[in-house]
């Protein structure tokens, strides 16, 4: 049991402390830069870009979202494709108000992966940028994404999603929001350093771009398209890099049930990816095998390691004061976590969101230099 306890402790410590330290050292010693230039600086034209936005019943948000996309400071040709995944609201009317500046593809309900496949199949651009209806892009987000593709080794680029809970200047009275903000900063730190030594292990679904020629249609059952698609590009020999100058803004939903659903979906999605792409487990095939095992697989093992440590310390507690103390510390930690979750569930959340749902608040827009927009703003047809 002692071996089980210490192996479990080592596993958890390695995933959350040891791996980041080794990653930081490796990025300093053997970091790879992206040979990045603005296309006009390199004497070449900006590549054509297709923005694919999959939406289901998002009419309340679409007008503002499309206005944001059409307002991008991108010197090259930009086409916007909205794929309606069986929408039953006024999605078609919202898109029609923009005339021929936005293309609409209407599909029967089939899920986001199917909608993304249809959008990419219809795209004409050399690069495809994926966007969601909820978030907003900084004005230069697409330009920063495109600049990375002047390096022929780059097959995909993910931008930075900035959440309102990352800045305590925002009025977010939620311990869960605090925790999410810190965790998201930690995740972005990992992505930044993984990018420096090769590739990130996924993308921010709200803002990422790929070379259209590298896209492989996603299985319709895919749960994490923003992990599977980038990892397939990496397996194909190209880099997927992180550029924190390309930014999207969002407001976090900091209630317990929503966060639990998100984590459950992420956990299930990571198991699913192993079934869809078992090549990820082969060191000579996966160029980021060590990072993938340490980051993704490690996260899948940690819950079992924590359970094993708890059981082992309970068995060993009668034999040693050290294991008794370890058991008390673990039980205390889980008790505090349960109390915090209960507090979040019982706390009344102010209803201050616009009709369109979660949207970046005014402070987030001010920091990004974006105009304030609401879910009900109408845009004149172009």
One-letter-per-residue 3-state SS of 39-85: CCCCCCCCCCEEEEEEECCCHHHHHHHHHHHHCCCCCCCEEEEEEEE
Residue pair 224/296 in contact by the 8 Å Cβ criterion: no
Which pLDDT belongs to residue 17?
Answer: 95
Which pLDDT belongs to residue 143?
Answer: 95
* Neighbouring residues of 276: CB distance < 8 A, sequence distance ≥ 6: 219, 222, 228
pTM above 0.85, yes or no: no
Closest-CA residue to 65 (of 367, 357, 369, 314): 357
What is the rounded average pLDDT of the residues 110-134?
95
* Cβ burial 277-299 (10 Å sphere, 16+ → b, else e): beebeeeeebbbbbbbbbbbbbe
Closest-CA residue to 51 (of 107, 132, 113): 132
Closest-CA residue to 227 (of 196, 186, 259, 194): 194
Decide which of 92 and 370 is more confident.
92
* Range from 28-32, 97-101, 223-227, 315-319 carrying the lowest mean pLDDT: 28-32
Residue pair 344/255 in contact by the 8 Å Cβ criterion: yes
How far is residue 178's CA from residue 94's CA, in Å, rounded to a whole number? Answer: 36
What is the rounded average pLDDT of the residues 310-324?
93
Place of tokens 């990130």: 200
Mean pLDDT of the chain: 84
How far is residue 187's CA from residue 164's CA, in Å, rounded to a whole number? Answer: 16
Provide the 10 A C-beta neighbour count for residue 197: 17
| pLDDT range class, residue 154, cuts 50, 70, 90 | very high
* Range from 166-180, 217-231, 281-295 carrying the lowest mean pLDDT: 166-180
| pLDDT range class, residue 34, cuts 50, 70, 90 | confident
What is the rounded average pLDDT of the residues 282-306?
94
Place of tokens 């397996």: 235
Which pLDDT belongs to residue 368?
Answer: 43
Task: Give the model confidence (pLDDT) of 206-236 as tens digits.
Answer: 999 999 999 999 999 999 999 999 999 999 9
Residue pair 277/231 in contact by the 8 Å Cβ criterion: yes
| pLDDT range class, residue 193, cuts 50, 70, 90 | very high
Which pLDDT belongs to residue 21?
Answer: 96
Eight-class DSSP state of 144: H
């Amino acid at each position: 049991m002692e071996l089980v306890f210490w192996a479990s402790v080592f596993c958890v410590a390695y995933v959350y402390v040891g791996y980041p330290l080794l990653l930081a050292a490796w990025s300093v010693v053997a970091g790879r830069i992206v040979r990045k230039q603005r296309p006009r600086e390199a004497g070449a034209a900006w590549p054509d870009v297709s923005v694919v936005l999959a939406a289901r019943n998002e009419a309340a948000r679409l007008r503002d979202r499309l206005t944001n996309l059409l307002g991008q400071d991108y010197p090259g040709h930009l086409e916007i494709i909205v794929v309606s995944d069986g929408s039953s609201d006024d999605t078609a009317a919202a898109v029609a108000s923009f005339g021929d500046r936005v293309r609409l593809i209407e599909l029967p309900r089939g899920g986001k992966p199917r909608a993304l496949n249809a959008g990419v199949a219809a795209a004409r651009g050399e690069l495809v940028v994926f966007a969601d209806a909820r978030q907003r892009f900084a004005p230069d987000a697409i330009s920063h994404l495109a600049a990375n593709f002047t390096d022929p080794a780059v097959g995909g680029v993910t931008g930075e999603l900035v959440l309102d809970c990352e800045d305590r200047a925002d009025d977010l009275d939620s311990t869960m929001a605090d925790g999410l903000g810190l965790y998201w900063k930690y995740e972005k730190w990992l992505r930044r350093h993984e990018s420096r030594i090769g590739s990130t292990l996924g993308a921010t679904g709200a803002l990422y771009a790929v070379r259209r020629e590298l896209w492989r249609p996603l299985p319709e059952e895919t749960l994490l398209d923003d992990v599977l698609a980038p990892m397939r590009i990496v397996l194909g020999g190209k880099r997927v890099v992180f550029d924190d100058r390309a930014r999207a803004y969002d407001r976090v939903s900091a209630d317990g049930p929503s966060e639990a659903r998100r984590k459950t979906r992420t956990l299930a999605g990571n198991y699913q990816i192993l079934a869809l792409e078992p090549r990820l487990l082969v060191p000579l095939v996966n160029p980021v095998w060590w990072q993938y095992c340490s980051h993704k697989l490690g996260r899948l093992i940690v819950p079992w390691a924590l359970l094993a440590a708890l059981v082992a310390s309970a068995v060993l507690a009668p034999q040693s004061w050290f294991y008794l103390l370890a058991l008390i510390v673990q039980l205390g930690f889980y008790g505090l976590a349960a109390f915090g979750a209960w507090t979040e569930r019982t706390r009344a959340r102010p209803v201050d969101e616009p009709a369109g749902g979660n949207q970046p608040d005014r402070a987030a827009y001010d920091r990004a230099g974006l105009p304030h927009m609401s879910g009900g703003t109408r845009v004149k047809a172009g």
